[in-house]
Amino acid sequence: MSAEPIIAVVEDDEDIRSNVCRFLGRSGFQSWGADSAEDFYVRLLRSRADLVVIDIGLPGEDGLSLLTRLAAQGVPTVLMTARADLDSRIKGLEAGALQYFVKPVDMQELVAGIRSQLRNKQLHGGGEAVAAVPWQLDSASATLRAPNQQTVALTTRELELLSCLMQTRGAVVSKQALVQAVGGRALDDDFHRIESALTRLRRKTLEATGTPLPVRAVFGKGLVFVP
């Protein structure tokens, strides 16, 4: 098995897929392509992938579904898509994409992003722990500071919600506890308001800091702030 990183490119447009694979080859990577998620699964049986480049708009199983599966297994992934709207960016990053590239993609930028993610994988997989700058909540100024040190101003409800979530990072906070934290009483109605506020906060955080808010929903249970 070669020590060179192997990149899989899952893209249904044959020209784009071929061009990306050729450029990756000239940049020192081995690569292989698949035209769908199903094709990717079959090819993965005989080839490894150290990182996967995925198009969202795939035939059959879509790119976000494939991305979610790979992210759950700890496989580094980046998205390469024509969808430039903010909602698509949020969905892609929250599904687990490490980076989001909008077509037409600058190949040198794509390769630089891939190299960066592979370096991060090596650092986190090695013997030495890498200290990450955590998200920080400043209650006095009602601001949230991202790991890249960019900040976003919070409303009172957003501050209450994040205070509750960040006190128990990595643990699921129940719907009841969240409703109580923001002064609500009716569980279903007030939790729906919390979800709406969280959707707005996700957009605002991504716009202000360029980093997705690490809050995940756990179906039927509540929310968790991922440290």
Domain coverage including residue 202? 136-225
Claim to verify: residue 221 and residue 169 sit in the same structural domain: yes
pLDDT in tens, 156-205: 989 999 999 998 877 888 888 888 887 766 556 577 888 888 889 988 98
DSSP 79: E
Amino acid at 87: D
**Beta carbons of 17 and 49 less than 8 angstroms apart:** no
Confidence of residue 128 (pLDDT cuts 50, 70, 90): very low
Q: What is the pTM of this model?
A: 0.56
Q: How many domains does the chain have?
A: 2
Instruction: Among 125, 154, 170, give the residue marking a domain's end.
Output: 125
Chain-centroid distance of CA 94 in Å reads: 4
CA–CA separation, 80 and 114 (whole Å): 12
Provide the CATH number for the domain around residue 167: 1.10.10.10
User: Strand, coil or helix: what is 1?
Assistant: coil
- Same domain? 116 vs 141: no
**Largest Cα–Cα distance in the chain?**
61
131 located within any domain:
no
What's 79's domain CATH number? 3.40.50.2300
65-74, 108-117, 121-130 — which is least confidently predicted? 121-130
For the chain, the first-to-last Cα distance in angstroms comes to: 35
Question: If you average pLDDT over residues 64-74, what whole number do you get?
Answer: 85
Give a yes or no: residue 1 inside a domain: no
Do 101 and 17 share a structural domain?
Answer: yes
The model's pLDDT over 36-45, given as tens digits with 9 standing for 90+, comes to 998 998 888 7
